[in-house]
Amino acid sequence: MTPPLRQRRLLFVTGKGGVGKTTIAAGLARAMANAGRRVLLCSVDDRSDLADAFSLPPLRFEPVRVDEYLSVMAMDTEASLREYLKIYLRLPIVGRIGPVAAAFDFVATAAPGVREILTIGKVCYEVREEHYDTVIVDAPATGHVTGYLAAPQALQSLVRVGLIRSQTDWMLQILSDESLTGVIAVTTAEEMPVSETLQLLTAIRQDTTTHAAAVVVNRVVSDILVPRDEALAQQLASQRPSPFDDPHLDGLFAAERFAAQRREVSREHLSVLREGIPSTLPVIIQPYCFGATTSAAIVADVAASLAEEIS
């Protein structure tokens, strides 16, 4: 049985570009903070809009407190390296790290996973030190996230002993513990996003030690009418001349027909998704937010919808 989201300490939120993974990450963080959990929300993707989601200035490596329970930050690999050197090697680093940064760039180019492991190391460190109850990562898109999650394994294959090896050991312990860590795959009920999500879940299972925690199907158009009323609406809309002398009603009927067609297509893709994943993996349906017009308002709506999942 997959552990519930509310019990996880580290959650990576990923998905195909355009499906709304940043919105889901922000909404989940907001929901957990509303429930009284101390949450760190971390942006890894440079194109993330997390700052807009909380009406904040551009994010930095130093976390910004949104309120008593929620803090938000953006990953910076040089800042992460500086923090690592300070904590583990006890080097008094002031300002830019100069020659060390140049050496790091050389090593990061030559050795796979070095940049990624600084990102993974930072979020795992926050979990290990229990600075927050939950760390949520707005992770890279589906094509890149497995490289981040597999970074400790990649580095272990190169380094057998020493400080770096011991660091990857404890990171892997956190990443591999299904009760602590999980990946949330965000998709929409469309062909390409569903196909990429199924491929992602397979890659996570085969190429990493981390477990999938849930699939969120975003922007699902909910049923507006019950089947009997929908059938009546279709019957009235098909009559010509219309029994109603009102062009606005014609537009309303057209909108309902479009929504009905979209729901039918969505149901087909949802069926494909459910058939392709383990029956124990939760599928969370996130309704389309029709009323919200700003990023902050959409995040608030998503948080309210996801509240039941973390209660």
Helix (H, G, I), strand (E, B) or coil at 40: strand
pLDDT for residue 246: 55
Residue 303 in any domain: the answer is yes
Q: Give dist(CA 213, CA 207) in Å, integer.
A: 16
What is the distance of C-alpha 302 from the center of its chain?
Answer: 13
Residue 165 in any domain: the answer is yes
Structure tokens at 29: 């963080």
pLDDT for residue 79: 82
Q: Domain tally for the chain? A: 1
| Average pLDDT score over residue span 119-148 | 94
142: exposed, middle or buried (Cβ count in 10 Å: 0-12, 13-18, 19+): buried
Asked which of 136-140, 252-256, 258-262, 278-282 is least confident by mean pLDDT, the reply is 252-256
Residue 270 in any domain: the answer is no
Residue 234 in any domain: the answer is no
Look at residue 9 and tell me whether its pLDDT is greater than 70.
yes
| Average pLDDT score over residue span 130-159 | 88
Residue 209 in any domain: the answer is yes
Residue 231 in any domain: the answer is no
Instruction: With beta carbons less than 8 A apart as the criterion, state whether 303 and 296 touch.
Output: no
| Average pLDDT score over residue span 25-43 | 97
Residue 264 in any domain: the answer is no
Helix (H, G, I), strand (E, B) or coil at 311: coil
| Average pLDDT score over residue span 149-160 | 78
For residue 62, the domain's CATH number is 3.40.50.300
259: exposed, middle or buried (Cβ count in 10 Å: 0-12, 13-18, 19+): middle
Instruction: With beta carbons less than 8 A apart as the criterion, state whether 227 and 306 touch.
Output: no
Structure tokens at 117: 């492991």
Asked which of 88-92, 184-188, 198-202, 214-218 is least confident by mean pLDDT, the reply is 88-92
Whole domain around residue 16: which residue ranges?
Answer: 5-222+278-310
Residue 252 in any domain: the answer is no
